[in-house]
Structure 1
């Protein structure tokens, strides 16, 4: 059952790849032409595809999805350090890039790092205990957790306040492996730091493993309404579309008791 659902959601995710709709339309039109189907039908499919690409490239679709994914987290960056004692701040990795054989954190990682450090600093300046749990292995030779840790230490965070979860390869594993660590720590409160567009799915997965994180969105993405389609709008719309499919997958798997 799970294998079949995994396959189906991978198929759905193909529709969130840049301009996959164009490729699909070309294939359908070619098949219809070979089978001598109606010329009007082929033209209709072509026009529909062009309209959808324009809708994506002009930023209309992205603007709607952006609100769905991020609106609830626009004010979560406010510090809440006075409300709890001994919290843990979980930071999700944002990816690794390799340039000239040198591995660096993806640009999204730095907004997450800054947000986590600001919250951590609010506690420490009041002499309150606080830990940072960095979750992410990534696909490089060095883990995201390791690279994050090095930068946090440069910012003045001591080793004793840094916990590394360096095995997870995706958001599901971020939640699963982090929950195993957190349940042994039993923190009074848990903050979750990740990008705004990624927060809804992340919170849902952490709740799946019995945790109730306080969301702290580190950054937000949006599209711009333009007369002519552009790559900026298309790129961010497809990123957000993929996130929507991921949320649906979490919801389906949770309803079937398969996210364990």
Structure 2
């Protein structure tokens, strides 16, 4: 009887959690936790923020297949557009503005994130000569580590970090770990769609949020044991 009652409770709880995630009622709190601490979207950067040598670092967020072609996902497009806008504003006041596109191939697709994003960055008006590709990193930690390795000491007077709100808190931890203190600029914020029926996008949002929350916990654990 006890085993049967336990199985019933576990089954009902699983169904409720599954529904709450898909209907958005649990997915949104998870997103709020993951995006907590990220600056609000729509920030403006004062012209004085751009130094004579400015680097705009854009983090990758995977690639997807669309109509038989490897392309950036929606979050990636938002990051590209935001980075290109920052670049255009930078060029109005600074002689040297570079966009560093950081992202390898963790999904083992036919091309890296950085190489896939490059044509879209160029299409947004950033000249190829002002784009630096970092296409070997597989994690946010490696994004920070590899970017720090390609930044000449003291060359860039201003460093700007562009990524989605859900990744920003973890990205800042990693960049600070390597002695960098970039200005965080959020490209986009994710929101769950609450309702009665489960939606696929809400499960995806919940997965993203859990990935970031686990990554933050992992960072602190690794720091405590001396791995980071």
TM-score, scaled to structure 1: 0.78
Query: What corresponds to 1:50 in structure 2?
Result: 15
Deviation digits for residues 102-150 of structure 1 (CA, Å, limit 9, x no counterpart): 3222232111000001111111123542111111122333322223233
User: What's the counterpart of residue 83 of structure 1?
Assistant: 49
* C-alpha RMSD of the superposition: 2.1
1: distance between equivalents of 2:88 and 2:215? 33
How far residue 226 of structure 1 moved from its aligned partner, in angstroms, is 1.6
| Number of aligned residues | 224
Distance 1:152 1:40, change over 3 A: closer
Unaligned runs of 5+ in 2: none
Larger helix share, 1 or 2: 1
Q: Name the counterpart of 1:147.
A: 116
Whether the 8 Å CA contact 2:41–2:189 is kept in 1: the answer is no
**Higher radius of gyration, 1 or 2:** 1
Give ranges in structure 1 of 5+ residues lacking alignment. Answer: 1-35
1:157 and 1:133 map into 2 onto residues whose CA distance is: 11
Say whether the 8 Å CA contact 2:60–2:102 is kept in structure 1: yes
Equivalents in 2 of 1:201, 1:225: separation in Å? 26
**Post-superposition, which runs of at least 4 consecutive aligned residues in structure 1 deviate over 6 A?**
none
- Give TM-score, length-normalised by structure 2: 0.88
Counterpart CA distance in 1 for 2:65 and 2:23 is: 32
- Cα deviation per residue 1:214-258 (whole Å; 9 max; x = unaligned)? 111111111122233333322211221121111111111122221
Provide, for residues 19-71 of structure 1, a one-character-per-residue CA deviation record: whole Å limited to 9, x for no partner: xxxxxxxxxxxxxxxxx862212111112212222222232222222222224
CA displacement, residues 158-205 of structure 1 (integer Å, 9 cap, x when unaligned): 233111111112212111111111244641121111111111111111
Name the structure 1 match of 2:225: 256
